[in-house]
Structure 1
């Protein structure tokens, strides 16, 4: 084997990191580091020694049943598994001297998929296809960066090039052509007008939270005023890709022919697709629309099934029953859904394909202070993590050095706008929000966390045991969960996916250790006096969603879960 060490390209290093970390988490290989030199593969012994001398941590990961191994080194080892890999790796067999350098991340696709335990060839090939699709999209986004965005908020929403760090199909979009990507991909800076349908009033199903009417784009309403004037028709917005899809269906064609449905074409305000691809921002209307897209994005077809819409609207109704200060605080605000619309059809697949959910947004002026957390924490292929810019601003605003002291102060303020209000909401009212990285937005003032925002109520879960207004919701509401289930989801979405990831990212700046921030978090939880905070400190493990296994096993509503060590546990008193 040559002593020359080929370097992976920057994009491939990040893909290697994403795939390796996901595989390790979901196969319970939490620490693949090779601590003892006696365990070094004979062919790599010299290299392992050199890595250790350079302060790197060699790892060795096996992929059964092919008995292939991946060798490389970590430059940062994370308590939640967000390890940083050095930009090189080798592939070989344990007792072989024929190890080959990994030149790009693509070979990992077959290695990972073939190692997953299942005899189903079709599922394996489907996963491989989605992984290749995702890798191709990531490369595409890096080859062709978008033009300068119109605003900092849009830049953050459309700035995700890699996506979920613990997902092997994070950027898959199975169904978009190259032309579709140019028109609709947020990563390429897309913006477009929505396609509007005029729907016969008797055909449109509308549910507004607290019976509120749905907002209407004034420009679209002016165009369709002759149809709307006597109430015979109402407007239904649709993603333009989805409109083309619907217009190709015979059931929709029949409605068009009998004028129950009139295709009006692109109208109204320009919409900006966000990090979720099918949710768009309409700044002039202070509105988000969660549109249907019959495209497989990551591992789900992203339309709006009735159960999903009902859950989102029931959760928003539940929030409306709380005291105003529980929903909107100086440090934290929830952006609820306002209602939903679809066609009154017996076919559930068609209903899901036509449904749209209306969501409150923040005023456009306030948006310029706000960043989507996922974009703030995504480490680019080259250059520094955007989080570091905020920390510099915070240091400059107070004429402080950018050091551990400042990061700890910053972290205390961050907990004020995130973990603590979210935990208090669940403790008091049993409402657990799906506050993962794409559903959380934060306003910053001179780099300091000012206010947190939570959006997308479709993932909310309400504890039947804690919610004080249970009689106001249908007994079979999909938003209602047993206490254990709702608490389980809180632990993952808020603590693991959100808080844990941000702690890991702060540590990756080199300014502070993860352990220090976990200790500070434990002390803050301890000081809250909440019994649930004590429970978080006492349990040895936390749940983590297994996105790779769920995609492989084609599980949607009931994903697979794994457990990881709880970094808070060591600080219990």
Structure 2
């Protein structure tokens, strides 16, 4: 192994261990924090450190801690040390640590032996996948963390994936070759496959003035795709998914009967965005999101018809007086609508959901794509432990404005709250509209180093509270009839706060504080002040703001539980079944301030 490959492997191991142990500690609360120098420590472990008991093995796992976070995203340094009951210790890799955790019956008792075995395999594969991407992109690291990026560059800069997840880069059943071609972190592009389909074998809908078939034709024209023969409609297909679909007996039958004709490839380069199944081309008026028959993190990524209906509804909601009032209040925030979708139907007329393609608005054509970045890329760990991209932007702003890092941090974080956090909180509190705004669904445009505009994407994560239902039903009497996303207050607040605040806002606060840019206490104080200011206003629904401000505990998603049990998150009947409580750091911040 060369020195460079050893370094890449070490980077992947450290980044993966951080994702793994942050998820485990948040969900199990089993970590014992060691802060006193007089404690007896295993070799290679220094203060501060954390240990995790493994009762079944009569042993402990130990990690060095470089940063402990009130928000729950700590920073750990390798090595991982296994200490036995006789006090002997040895260094182990994450793969062995994952196996020891998976064999521990006290962790996630609902998991089967088979799911635990699959889990340990996915952890190992995820580390390997991350190392593969880091090796390919090693020459790009400086640019990805320090220089202005276009929309597609930022989407393909997310090397680590979900920062609190035990398998952030698992992607069954992609091969290494598939990943290099289609996964965003490898920075590559590919061309679309175009199909000609007899109209009676198409299903879909449009929420706009033009039909779903016309949406496909608009994309085909900008893609330079082949024209369908007379009596057929041209639709796009993801090349990897089309290869899988060609193994499906339903598709084989349609091909043999001449109901589907493979027309050939388009001419334009398309690039995967951070979600992998959504793709982008700078000349196209629409991004495309496909069903992909693979498991990424918690879900098999097959789109569901009810999720497509949500995209059409968001477009209609946006056009109501309620939606227009929200847009007028926050003109620098945009929700990307998903106005149409298409899929194939088999010979019996049944939908083939594995063939689904959804059309999403593209606000980043040409030069509009410049100096734009999704939140997850801003907060991800630097492979060598240097400050994250967001911290480096704050340092750049400080240099440009000749101000301190602390002053720059306050200004930058305030601009972030203006761009995305406040608009989404008011969408909930005044309009009853809920957006699942996690780090990969939030995009920021910048004026230099400062956030200036926010975007939310992925309408499958949208919903409405009872307030939203009440406000919108006069204009949309069939709201949520087929999308199943009117949610009661308790569930709405827990889900909404997890995505927007725990995942996105706390994730950013942890990343900035770990980089030494500002203290968590100061950033939490800023966030709390904004929440209090909003709550003091004439809100229609105070429940979510008060939940954030006054609850000693809030709810967070159990990504570790999902991974160990092998649950498909998108099809679970009770979303809250994978949630757990965590200490609310906003309350901790308030107590510290009062003291």
Please report the TM-score for the alignment, with normalisation by the length of structure 2: 0.87
Do structure 1's residue 87 and structure 2's residue 78 form an aligned pair?
A: yes
Distance 1:433 1:226, change over 3 A: closer
Q: Distance in 2 between matches of 1:371 and 1:63?
A: 40
CA distance in 1, matches of 2:489, 2:58: 43
Deviations 1:309-348 (A, max 9, x none): 2333334433333343524733311111111111234889
Would you say the 8 A contact 2:250–2:347 is kept in 1? no
Runs (5+) with no aligned partner, structure 1 = 1-6
1:135 maps to what in 2?
A: 127
C-alpha distance in 2 between matches for 1:204 and 1:268 = 24
The structural deviation recorded for 1:113 is: 1.4
Q: Does structure 2 retain, via aligned residues, the 8 Å contact 1:10–1:87?
A: no
Is residue 465 of structure 2 the alignment partner of residue 459 of structure 1?
A: no
Structure 1 residues 359-413: Cα deviation after superposition (integer angstroms, max 9, x where no partner): 0011322211210111111112114311123113322332323x21221121111
Deviations 1:226-251 (A, max 9, x none): 625xxx22122111011111112221
Distance in 1 separating the partners of 2:431 and 2:69: 33
Aligned to 1:3: none
Does residue 539 of the first structure (1) align with residue 545 of the second (2)? Answer: no
In structure 2, how many angstroms separate the alpha carbons of the residues matched to 1:347 and 1:503?
Answer: 53
Partners of 1:338 and 1:254 lie apart in 2 by 30
- 2:553, 2:124 → 1: CA distance? 33
Q: 1:218–1:268: 8 Å Cα contact kept in structure 2?
A: no
Deviations 1:270-325 (A, max 9, x none): 21111111110121013211111111222322121223223333344333333435
How much has 1:212 moved relative to structure 2?
3.4
1:97 counterpart residue number: 87
In the alignment, what sits opposite 2:113? 121
Separation in structure 1 between the aligned mates of residue 242 and residue 430 of structure 2, nearest angstrom: 43
Deviation at 1:157, TM superposition (A): 0.5
Partner residue of 1:77?
68
Whole-angstrom CA distance in 1 between matches of 2:502 and 2:347: 40
Is 2:361 the partner of 1:391? Answer: no
Q: Aligned partners of 1:396 and 1:36: how far apart in 2?
A: 38
**Which residue matches 1:525?**
531
Correspondence list, 1:199-214, <5 A? 199-214=197-212
Q: Tell whether 2:517 aligns with 1:511.
A: yes
Which residue, out of 549, 558, 561, partners 1:549? Answer: 561
Count of residues paired in the alignment: 552
Contact 1:74 1:85 in 2 (8 A): yes
Distance 2:352 2:310 in 1: 15
205-214 or 439-448: bigger deviation: 205-214
* Whole-Å separation in 2 of the counterparts to 1:33 and 1:241: 46
1:429 to 420, 431, 449: 431
Number of the residue aligned with 1:376: 378
TM value normalised by structure 1: 0.90
Aligned-partner Cα distance in 2 for 1:221–1:190? 17
CA 1:108/1:211 → structure 2, altered by over 3 Å: closer, same or farther? Answer: farther
For residues 16-55 of structure 1, the aligned pairs below 5 Å read 16-29=17-30, 32-35=32-35, 40=39, 42=40, 44=42, 51-52=46-47
Are 1:278 and 2:304 counterparts? no
Matching residue of 2:4 = none
Deviation at 1:97, TM superposition (A): 2.8
User: Cα offset for 1:151?
Assistant: 6.0
How far the C-alpha of 1:143 sits from its partner, in A, is 2.0
Q: In 2, are the aligned partners of 1:327 and 1:334 still within 8 Å (CA)?
A: no
Counterparts of 2:422 and 2:225, CA distance in 1: 47
Per-residue CA deviations over 1:72-122 (Å, capped at 9, x if unaligned) read 3212110121111133332112x31310023x3221220221123246211
Question: Is 2:236 the counterpart of 1:237?
Answer: yes
Quickly say closer, same or farther: Cα 1:60–1:344, change in 2 above 3 A. Answer: same
Counterpart for residue 177 of structure 1 = 175
Give SS of 1:69's match.
strand
In structure 2, the partner of 1:4 is none
Superposition deviation, residue 535 in structure 1: 3.4
Return the alpha-carbon distance in structure 2 between the equivalents of residues 268 and 464 of structure 1.
47
Structure 1 SS opposite 2:283: helix
Aligned to 1:157: 155
Which segments of 5 or more consecutive residues in structure 2 lack a partner in the other structure? Answer: 1-6
* Distance (Å, rounded) in 2 between the aligned partners of 1:221 and 1:213: 19
